[in-house]
Chain A
């Protein structure tokens, strides 16, 4: 019997040594590996180190939630069939903001043969998800210029901030959209669209005004509604594109060429 006990203890010790992360202290412990932190800046650096092609090809997805198998299939489809420059995820990367859900999604998206950028969604903010997003990706509002296009990512999940007037940060959006010599057209990316109940109704008009003021926003793309949709809810100025989602087994291939864009809905 003694021998049996010793073997059991040895097996246990072996298990502990063999894999890290075998001890969980709480589902809300944020303890990401070095390849799971500061991803926005790392991906911007990666993207800007590549030469800008004449036609920029971007994959659009969002509302990943717990559709990990579908997400994995989507990434494989993109890797095998498209030479994209980068991917945009319009939020709800982690189903309920749990660190493990952030890690599961990142594990899948990090297999993409291109950089990817995630704007924060309302589900990403549940529990201590705001901290996890900050740790894994960085700032909630960020932008970068690629070619002659500026990509502006905005946190628009007003309900998660109790509609306190600070989200979305209109001042920041206005500043980012102000024309400069560095870029010609802007693409604005967010999770909750301004016409949704979860968007602060008092900020809807200022937000749309900011988007239309300089007539330089090519289009806005968002998630939250899970299905593909192309509409012009505020007149002719700015088209809105709801990316599809892994749940619907569809994604969008966006091509940017000469201030024009095309959108292709791809099933997988």
Chain B
């Protein structure tokens, strides 16, 4: 997997274009479907079961400049497991960065603001983040003695608190009938541990924000 992403600058660029193509498909999905052609859920039971429950697009939040993800909900939307592909273009950093992340969110509170809008005031989540590239290894390269470093830069992780709104904009029997928006405050393990052992670190330095949209199938 690592080889695939680090073979050459050209390949990285190519992958980046592919990534934008995928993003475009995600973004265009609601536009491409209109009322006449939207299949209802009954007619597509098999497809419906295996399709991800939602598609997400996230800005920042420590997992990419833009990240596209898919996810499944469990226990009546109380648990959410999502998988993201995140990209950082080279105009916001020294080099572009490709990464994936796995997120587990618990949604203990749900309020129905009206019959179309629900509000999750406090979701709690944990994420694992893997950055691709030789310098972001997840096992110690063989030129190091065993246990030389305890830190593996390819795998980081953190915690987040989140608020989320969902809005049902058409008949729930149709696919893509609900859209969501979330905002989250994120911290990473590597920042949190530094803050715990150092009072001098400003609290605001260990937290950052992320924003995202969700399209429910």
Contact = CB atoms under 8 A, between A and B. Distances in A.
Interface of A: 1, 5, 8, 12, 15-16, 19, 21-31, 66-69, 72, 95-98, 100-101, 104, 108, 126-128, 131, 135, 159, 162-163, 197
Contacts of B69: none
8 contacts: A5-B113, A23-B61, A23-B208, A29-B88, A30-B93, A31-B92, A69-B200, A96-B190
B204 interface: yes
Nearest to B197: A66
B183 interface: yes
Interface of B: 59-65, 86, 88, 92-95, 97, 99, 113, 119, 129, 131, 135-136, 141, 143-145, 149, 151, 153, 156, 163, 165, 183, 186, 188, 190-191, 193-194, 197-201, 204-205, 208-210
Where chain A touches its partner, the secondary structure class is: loop
B205 A100 contact: yes
A67 B151 CA distance: 16
A19 B156 CA distance: 25
Nearest to B156: A27
A131 B60 contact: no
B153 A26 contact: no
Contact of B200 (A24, A68, A163): A68
Nearest to B62: A24
Contacts of A26: 62-64, 86, 88, 93, 97, 99, 129, 131
A25 B92 contact: yes
Given A26-B62, A28-B97, A162-B143, 16 more contacts: A8-B163, A23-B60, A24-B61, A24-B186, A27-B156, A68-B194, A68-B201, A95-B151, A96-B190, A97-B153, A100-B191, A100-B205, A126-B151, A128-B94, A159-B143, A159-B144
